[in-house]
Amino acid sequence: TDDIQLYTLYTNIVATAPRIGDFDGNGIVNGGDLGILLALWGPISCGSRYDLNNDCVIDGGDLGIFLADWG
């Protein structure tokens, strides 16, 4: 006779909300993301995902929002 063994594999899936300042998509807001934000400093196209306060410029307002999500 053949022995058949069945296994059930359970995995935990944790859904997390995207982090507003995670520009490089690695799941954390860190120096790499800060570099992206600083490289875009100044006027930017309205509606850009990097313009965190939607005023068509990357400036201190965006930096404040960004830093609140750090880590």
**Chain segment 52-70, per-residue pLDDT in tens:** 999 999 999 999 999 999 9
Instruction: Return the CATH number at 16.
Output: 1.10.1330.10
Distance of alpha carbon 44 from alpha carbon 56, whole angstroms: 5
Q: Which two tokens stand for residue 13?
A: 């899936």
Which range marks the domain in which residue 15 is found? 1-71
Q: Is the pLDDT of residue 11 over 80?
A: no
Distance of alpha carbon 57 from alpha carbon 32, whole angstroms: 20
* Residues 64, 20 contacting (CB under 8 angstroms): no
Distance of alpha carbon 70 from alpha carbon 38, whole angstroms: 15
Distance of alpha carbon 14 from alpha carbon 5, whole angstroms: 29
The overall average pLDDT reported for the chain is 91
Structural domain tally of the chain? 1
Q: Is the pLDDT of residue 14 over 90?
A: no
